[in-house]
Structure 1
Amino acid sequence: MDTSRDEKALFDKKINNKLYLTIPNVRDFILYNFTTDRKLKVTKSIGVKDNISKNVEDFEKFLAKKRTEQAFLSFESGSSKEVKAISDWFQMLETNLRFLFEDESLKLLSKRTEDKVNFYLTSDNREEFDFNTLSSGYSSILFILFDMMQKMQNETGSFDYTKEGIALIDEVEAHLHISLQKKILPFLTRFFPNVQFIVTTHSPFILQSLKNSVIFDLETKKRYEDFSNYSSESILETFYDLDKFGDIMKTEMGKYEEMLKNGIGNDKNEILETRKKFLEIPDIEISYWIKDMDIRHKETIKKLLK
C-alpha cells in the first residue's frame, strides 16, 4: 500500500476485532512526530572537600538529634534504658575521639541555643574547637565514620555496631598526615569490630597499624600477614624498593666512602670536614652509617684522627 510521504498518512485496519496501526515509513514517522531536542548538560561537581564538609555538618545534626532525644526521654517514665543507651553511646564516641586525637583530656560537649544544639570539643592542650574547624584529615575520617554509622543504624535500628559487614575504602590514607595514617584503621575497627575492611594504600604506616591484618601485593601477587612488627623504613625498602635516604644524601655518602677507599692523600681536610658534617646530622640512621664506615675503613680513620 502506497501513501504520500508529505501527508505522513497513517492507516489502520481491523482484523479479528483487533486494531493494528500500520506505518508505511517508520523513519519519516519518527522524524515527523518526535522532534529532536539536543542539550548539553554538565553537572558541576561539589568537590571532595565540600562533600566532606557537608557530611561533617550532617554528623553534627545527627549528634544534635541524639542529644535532643536523650533530653526528651529523660522526662518520660520508663525510658531509663533508652536514656542510658544514648548516654553510653556519647561516652563511647568521646572515648574514641580521645584515641583519634591522642588526647586523654578531650571532652565532647554541647550548647543549646534557641533553635539548635551546637557541639564542640575541649582539651587541656588547646583552645575550644568544633567539628567545622577540623583539618581535612580529621574531617575525612569523620566522613567515613558517619557514613558507616548511618548505614549500620539503618540496618539494625540501634546503636549496636557489632553487625558483620565488608567496607571497601580506596586510598585510605588520602588527606591524612602520618599520625592519622597510623590511627584510622584502629579507630574504625574500635567502632565496628566485626566489619572486614578491605583498603588500598601506598602507606607503610597504614600497613603496620593493625596486627590482625592480611596484606596482598597487587604487583607481585604475594600475600603477607601482620606488618605491625615492621618499621616503616623496612617496609619502604623491602616492599616498595625505596631507599631510606634521598638522592642528594646518597650522592654525598658515596663521595665520602670513595674518599675513604682512596686513602688520605691530599684530601685529609675534605674528608674530615665531610665526616664532621655527617656527624652533625641529627639522624640515627646516619650515625649508624658513619660507625659502619669507621669499621670498614678503620686504618684510614685512625690516620685521619691522629
Structure 2
Amino acid sequence: MTTTTHPNVTTINTKIPGTDRACSINSNGRSIIITGINGSGKTQLLKKIYNICEQLIGGEESIIYLQSQVNHLQSYLNLNSPFGSNHDSHVAALEHAKERLENLTHSPVLISEKERFAADYKKGMAVLVFFEATRQANFIEASSATSKEKIIQQSSSNSDASSYFENYLVSQITLQAYAESPNIGNDPESAKSIELWFEKLETDFKSLFEDPTLQIRFDSNKQCFFICQDLKKPYRLQNLSSGFSSLLVIYANLIMKVELRNILPSEIYGLVFIDEIDAHLHVSLQRKILSFLMQSFPKIQFIITTHSPFVVSSVSNAVIYDISTLEQTDDLSMYSYESILKGLFDTPPISQIVTDKVERLFDILEDSSPNFDELQEILKIVSAHESELDSESAMHIKRARILLNRSKTGDVDV
C-alpha cells in the first residue's frame, strides 16, 4: 500500500449525479481511475468531485457565510408566494447553498492535511486543475525572446499556462546563451543546468512520440522551436496531431506551473483531474500516458476517467473504480486487455489482427499524405467488426470514411 507525506484525497463517498447510486472510493492517496460503460456518468462524477475539491481548497466561502445564505433564502421563500416570478430561482439558489454548506460540514470528499493544501494552493505551490475531454493545446507562437518575469505575469491571468510553453522554451534557450557567454552572463553552472533541462525535455518527447530520432531544435532566425523526426518535415508545436495535442496540453501545463514557480516536477503536489485521458490517443500512447504522468509528477494525485482497457491495465499503484458496478479494484496491471474488456467493460475482445488494423488505420489518418488505397482496404476489414470495437476505434472508422469521401471530391482537409 502506498504511503504519502503530502495532502491528497483519501476517500470519496458521494452519489453519482443524476442518480440515487452511491459510490465509495478508498484511495489512500493513490491515483484514481474511474471507468464504466458509456453513459454511466463518469464525466459528471469527475466534475462533481473536482467542484467539491475546488470549494474545499480554493473556495473563500465560510460555514458561517453559507449558513447565513441558507437562512436568508429560506426566510425569503417562507415570506413570499410560491407563484412569484422569482420563486424558482430562489429555490435553486437555496439548494445550491445547502449543497455547498454540506460540502464543508460533512464533506463527501476527505482530503488529508486540507489546511496545508489550501495554503500552498493559494501561494501557487500546489496544483488543482481539471482537463476537459475536449482539451486541445493552444500554444502561442513564439517569435522573439520573452523574459521569464513577463511570462509569469501573462500566464497569471490565464488558467491554461501551457499556452506560453514555446515562449518559455525560447526564454530558456536565450538564458542559456547568455550564461555561456563570458562577456554577458559568464555562468557556466546555470548554462549546464538549462542544457540538462532541455535534454530531459527531449527525452520525454522521445518517449511520448515513441521515436528515438526525435530532436527539439531551436531556429535562431525565426526565434522558435521545431520538432524534428527522421523521414518527416520539421514542424512546430502548433502543428501537432489531435492526439499529441491533447496529451501535451496536460504535460506542458504542469511543466509550466512548476517551472514558473521554481519547483521541481518531483516536488509539486496536488490534484489533477483528466476526463477521458485516452481521448484521441493511439493505443500505444494509451498504454503509457498515465504511467508517464505519474512518473513525471510523482507527488500529484491523478483522478481520471477512461473507457480504455489499455489505460486501466497500465499502472499498478492506482485504484480502479467501476461506477457501472460500484466496485473498486486495486490492480489490473497483471491482466490482459482482453480479460479486462470482458470482465470490466463487458465487451467481447477482438482479435489481435483487427487491433493491429485499427492501429494502422489511425497511423494513416494522422499522416499528412495518407495512402487512400490502403485506407480503403483496411476500412473494409475493420468495418466488419465495428460493433465489437470500443468507441475510440469506432470514431477512427468514421474519420476514415469522411476522409475517403472527401478525397473523391478533392477535399482531404480533415
Alignment correspondent of 1:79: 187
Q: Please state if 1:90 is matched with 2:198.
A: yes
Q: Please state if 1:241 is matched with 2:361.
A: no
Given that 2:206 and 2:212 are in contact with CA atoms closer than 8 Å, whether structure 1 keeps it comes out as: yes
Alignment correspondent of 2:213: 105
CA shift digits 1:74-130 (9 cap, x unpaired): 2245622222221111110100111111111211111111xx522112223433232
TM-score using structure 2 length: 0.44
Distance in 2, matches of 1:128 and 1:136, equals 17
Alignment correspondent of 1:139: 245
Given that 2:287 and 2:314 are in contact with CA atoms closer than 8 Å, whether structure 1 keeps it comes out as: yes
- Output the amino acid matched with 1:72: Y
1:220-259 equivalent positions in 2, closer than 5 A:
220-244=325-349
> Structure 1 regions of 5+ residues with no counterpart?
1-46, 247-280, 282-306
TM-score using structure 1 length: 0.58
Q: Please state if 1:172 is matched with 2:277.
A: yes
RMSD: 2.7
Given that 2:274 and 2:304 are in contact with CA atoms closer than 8 Å, whether structure 1 keeps it comes out as: yes
Distance in 2, matches of 1:119 and 1:215, equals 39
Match of 2:226 among 117, 120, 130: 120
* Residues 58, 170 of structure 1: alpha-carbon distance in 2 compared, 3 angstrom cutoff: same
Considering Cα pairs closer than 8 Å and 6+ residues apart, tell me whether 1 or 2 has the greater RCO: 2
Alignment correspondent of 1:183: 288
The percent of aligned pairs where both chains have the same amino acid is 37
Alignment correspondent of 2:302: 197
Given that 1:167 and 1:197 are in contact with CA atoms closer than 8 Å, whether structure 2 keeps it comes out as: yes
Given that 2:137 and 2:163 are in contact with CA atoms closer than 8 Å, whether structure 1 keeps it comes out as: no
| Structure 1 residue 212, shift from structure 2 partner | 2.1
Distance in 1, matches of 2:318 and 2:238, equals 33
CA shift digits 1:17-61 (9 cap, x unpaired): xxxxxxxxxxxxxxxxxxxxxxxxxxxxxx957764557653211
| Structure 1 residue 154, shift from structure 2 partner | 4.1
| Structure 1 residue 211, shift from structure 2 partner | 2.5
**Secondary structure of 1:166's match?**
strand
Number of aligned positions between the proteins: 199
Distance in 2, matches of 1:190 and 1:92, equals 13
Runs of 4+ in structure 1 off by over 3 angstroms are 47-57, 158-161
> Structure 2 regions of 5+ residues with no counterpart?
1-132, 141-159, 352-380, 382-414
CA shift digits 1:173-214 (9 cap, x unpaired): 122222221221122223212212111111111111223222
Distance in 1, matches of 2:297 and 2:327, equals 28
Larger radius of gyration: 1
* Residues 154, 132 of structure 1: alpha-carbon distance in 2 compared, 3 angstrom cutoff: closer
Distance in 2, matches of 1:199 and 1:50, equals 17
